[in-house]
Amino acid sequence: MKANHSSSSEERFLLLGFSDWPSLQPVLFASVLLCYLLTLTGNSAMVLLAVRDPRLHTPMYYFLSHLALVDAGFTSSVVPPLLANLRGPALRLPRGGCMAQLCASLALGSAECVLLAVMALDRAAAVCRPLRYAGLASPRRCRALAATSWLGGLTNSAAQTALLAARPLCAPLRLDHFICELPALLQLACGDGGRAVERQMFAARVVILLVPSTVILASYGAVGRAIWGMRSGGGRSRAVGTCGSHLTAVCLFYGSAIYTYLQPAHSYQQGRGKFVSLFYTVVTPALNPLIYTLRNKEVKGAARRLLGSLGPGRAGQ
């Protein structure tokens, strides 16, 4: 039986963060701050290029700009309190603040799950149905798919947060974590009466993670078959190039997210889980702009054109 129920409206959650690793905190602070600056700079640049350059007004870059917005928001929901925690004592968050952070990170993380699946469908359509691609990826359909990603994330977050908020939590409200993450919070739930609710929440996490990942696997299965059947080496190279970056981003995000959210709450280890969470909430959003630009000639060209338009010769006209 757990400790006393905690039901006061003024209750506060104690987030230990990385206080059990004091020698690691300065290094983590510098690393997290660097990743955050890279995330904001890289994703903002991606959105700016996708909006300003007419050559990037294609479905792939439309969805990529939405991914950049999701990544910037996702990291921003996590990093500021993490930096405060790394510079001082363990962080105390009121219940409302903890639920708000949970809701924001869940909404943006879930939206990314759906958006990555939408991007996989887009790549499959481009490679497997090139002659019909313009009709399949019409602007109206692209807007609808992007809206579905955001709405799916908000719906999942609202449902999970509401179900958790209705459950009584046991004192002390102590989390060996740096954010109010769902698996860690579920370990504070009291009594056995909420087992049905917990199963519903787990089912929702399965849907938001496994359905998009199934779509991604099916899409890349179709892409693989199409590439195998291509006679032109140049065609194969272009197809692999357009899909390779996205597949790398998918593996980085889904690997850590599935580990975190698709295990029963009673077996979740907060100490190990916070390092896994650090990877997909802080590191992956910083890497995504690099993954999508390092081998992408169109984005590099758009960046050169933008910098050229801002150069001294242009400015003096």
Query: Residue 215 has which token pair?
Result: 């779509």
- pLDDT higher for 148 or 235? 148
Confidence of residue 8 (pLDDT cuts 50, 70, 90): very low
Is residue 92 a contact partner of residue 15, using CB atoms and an 8 Å limit? yes
Is residue 115 a contact partner of residue 66, using CB atoms and an 8 Å limit? yes
Q: Looking at the whole model, is its pTM more than 0.85?
A: yes
Q: Which of 113, 132, 120, 126 is nearest to 58 (CA)?
A: 126
pLDDT reported for residue 121: 93
* Residue 230 within a domain: yes
* Residue 111 within a domain: yes
* Residue 314 within a domain: no
- Tell me the pLDDT tens digit for each residue of 27-61: 999 999 999 999 999 999 999 999 988 888 999 99
* Residue 276 within a domain: yes
pLDDT reported for residue 290: 87
Mean pLDDT of 116-129: 91
For residue 14, pLDDT beyond 50: yes
Q: How many domains does the chain have?
A: 1
Which CATH number fits the domain that encloses residue 283?
1.20.1070.10
**Buried b or exposed e, range 185-224, using 16+ CB within 10 angstroms:** bbbbbbeeebeeebeebbebbeebbeebbebbeebbebbe
Is residue 127 a contact partner of residue 223, using CB atoms and an 8 Å limit? yes
Looking at every residue in the chain, the average pLDDT score rounds to 84
- pLDDT higher for 300 or 36? 36
Q: Which of 187, 199, 209, 17 is nearest to 106 (CA)?
A: 209
Burial of 228 (0-12, 13-18, 19+ CB in 10 A): exposed
Structural domain including 32 reads 11-305
Ranked by mean pLDDT, the top range of 130-144, 159-173, 230-244 is 130-144
Instruction: Compute the distance between CA of residue 180 and CA of residue 279 in angstroms, rounded to an integer.
Output: 16
Q: How far is CA 283 from the centre of its chain?
A: 10
Peptide bond into 285 cis (omega under 30): no
- Tell me the pLDDT tens digit for each residue of 171-230: 788 888 888 988 888 888 776 655 777 788 888 888 888 999 999 999 988 888 887 776
* Residue 3 within a domain: no
* Residue 138 within a domain: yes
Confidence of residue 114 (pLDDT cuts 50, 70, 90): very high
pLDDT reported for residue 224: 84
For residue 11, pLDDT beyond 80: no
pLDDT reported for residue 317: 46
Q: Distances in Å between the alpha carbon of 66 and those of 108, 113, 233, 244, 314?
A: 11, 12, 32, 19, 30
Q: Which of 276, 216, 214 is nearest to 250 (CA)?
A: 216
* Residue 101 within a domain: yes
pLDDT reported for residue 270: 73
For residue 170, pLDDT beyond 60: yes
For residue 6, pLDDT beyond 60: no
* Residue 316 within a domain: no
- pLDDT higher for 297 or 191? 297
- pLDDT higher for 276 or 88? 276
For the chain, the residue count is 317
pLDDT reported for residue 83: 92
Q: What are phi and psi of 16, to 5 degrees?
A: -75, -25
For residue 316, pLDDT beyond 50: no
For residue 286, pLDDT beyond 80: yes
pLDDT reported for residue 177: 87
